[in-house]
Structure 1
């Protein structure tokens, strides 16, 4: 059986794509049990060794909100010396940013919501208040010379409010850019987006694709197709989680993220350069699946590891 996709150079829409790995943060935050700090640190080291150079390592949220990430300082401190690596961390507010700065963070990410209901459930405040809070965080990050990225959660659909129209998302993206985010990731938080919906949102944001990313969940099996549409539209940074880990502790209908291995199989088959070793990454996800005591949901991981993960 083939262990690598057969590339067809020249048929892919891009020569190089950044895979923004979110497993250590967005993946492990959804676990029912707390993963040991040493396992998290080893995971980040393994992801880096496989070639992933952008790894969102943790979140500086209050431990009472997400106890799975209460060891944020320890994890970041243990991996901060990795060479040639972007190691962003999520910060929910000024206090989170201060903790991150004290721990040595050089890149942070902020989150706003396209819907009022999710803002109140996830961010503990109204949608507008959440944006104002993010703007304050971004201003302070800029003062410290720290790079920043933004997420717009529920950019396609919300479990309480239903379908989200592109016109509801665009002003939030623009405000995050204005506030200092180099790139804004469009979050399909509960995995309800379809290629047509992704295309519609990217159409109204046309001309700014280099400043966008896509963050997909695979609830309805559409995440990889949605990533392909984003790639064709000119988006050059795609979020994914090793082994398909993840969910959202505040949106129970959310399932795992797009698996990094599944994304890589598609990208490599199109001749797109990522710098990541797919076999090494699949082995890492199989290793983590063993630590978590369940098989990896990624089809590519199961295929490359003989289903033993």
Structure 2
């Protein structure tokens, strides 16, 4: 096991992990995972110490059939003493979430026109106009709103994404009323220098660092390095997926999300507290990998599971 150390200079002492495996991870599975297994997955993640677990998505079942059981799943986990954000694509999705008592929701925007068209069948501005009443209504009801922004660093159709383009959409989401923004490296092309440049540009545009989270994919093996760059900038919210589940159904070159276990291993070695029991988390991801019928892509899960054999 890595030996916890005092937090390094310039790094936060605690990081909040925004766990996305149950939503972002499972929505990309070819086979539909039974509702009971999803609920048990969320419960085990909570038992491992994760305090923010994205539970499901209230999108139309036609678009994400793997999460068509949102109404059945959410009541099975709603009593957990953790935050359970859910994705809502529009006002209808918000209605469904609020009817079940959801108190944290997220909208999913794009920094590029190509991805907005592929994912939402709208332009960037049309998507923002669709989200505006969702955010307004949610905030009026006292619900916290997260704004996801995909393709912040690169787009499979458009290539590198100019910083001002990302800043504009971030600023629009914040002005709309979003409490937090998650910067997505959807195809995993970001590097630490690019991360630093974007965070600096956002700060210069009046977007405060405490309102930002980061969501990295590991296509080029840069997710942890990019996370460290964000931490050095002051970011304290990091998205990750238990076992490295997930990718992006509309970005074929995207590999999985940053594995929560790999993130916890690095943070522990830096002396940064997460409140996560790594052993329980590894056991949870190994359990889910068995249900999915394949080994976890997380290096930490593989390494620690092998040690226990």
Residue correspondence of structure 1 range 290-305 to structure 2 within 5 A: 290-305=290-305
User: Hey, what does 1:76 align to over in structure 2?
Assistant: 74
Structure-2 residue corresponding to 1:107: 104
Gaps of 5+ in 1: none
Please give the alpha-carbon distance, in whole angstroms, between the structure 1 residues aligned to 2:52 and 2:60: 24
Report the TM-score when normalising by structure 2. 0.96
Q: Summarize the alignment of residues 239-254 of structure 1 with structure 2, pairs less than 5 Å apart.
A: 239-254=239-254
Q: Could you tell me how far apart the structure 2 residues matched to 1:121 and 1:279 are?
A: 39
What SS is found at the alignment partner of 1:19? Answer: strand
- Taking structure 1 as the reference length, what is the TM-score of the superposition? 0.96
Tell me how far apart the structure 2 counterparts of residues 306 and 197 of structure 1 sit (CA, whole Å).
Answer: 35
- 5 Å-filtered alignment, 1:204-215, equals 204-206=201-203, 208-215=208-215
- 2:193 maps to 196
Unpaired runs of 5+ residues, structure 2, are none
Cα displacement (A) at 1:307? 7.3
Residue 136 of structure 2 corresponds to which residue in structure 1?
Answer: 139
**1:92 matches 2:89:** yes
The question of whether the paired residues in 2 share the 8 Å contact of 1:301 and 1:307 is answered with no
Listed as ranges, the matches of 1:274-285 within 5 Å are 274-285=274-285
Q: CA deviation at 1:10?
A: 3.3
Shift of 1:134: 1.3
What is the CA–CA distance in structure 2 between the aligned matches of 1:108 and 1:73, rounded to whole Å?
15
Q: Deviations over 1:230-270 (max 9, x none)?
A: 00100010000000000111111111000000000011111
* Structure 2 match to 1:167: 164
Structure 1 range deviating more: 299-308 or 45-54: 299-308
Inter-partner Cα distance in structure 2 for 1:154 and 1:110: 15
SS in 1 for 2:6: coil
Question: 4+ runs of 1 displaced by more than 2 Å?
Answer: none
Name the residue aligned to 1:222: 222
Going from structure 1 to structure 2, the CA distance change for 1:298 and 1:287 (only over 3 Å counts) comes to same
Q: Does residue 62 in structure 1 map to residue 86 in structure 2?
A: no
SS at match of 2:73: helix
Query: Residue by residue, what CA displacement relative to the aligned partner does 1:5-58 show, whole Å, maximum 9, x if unpaired?
Result: 112203261111100000000000000110110110000000000000100011
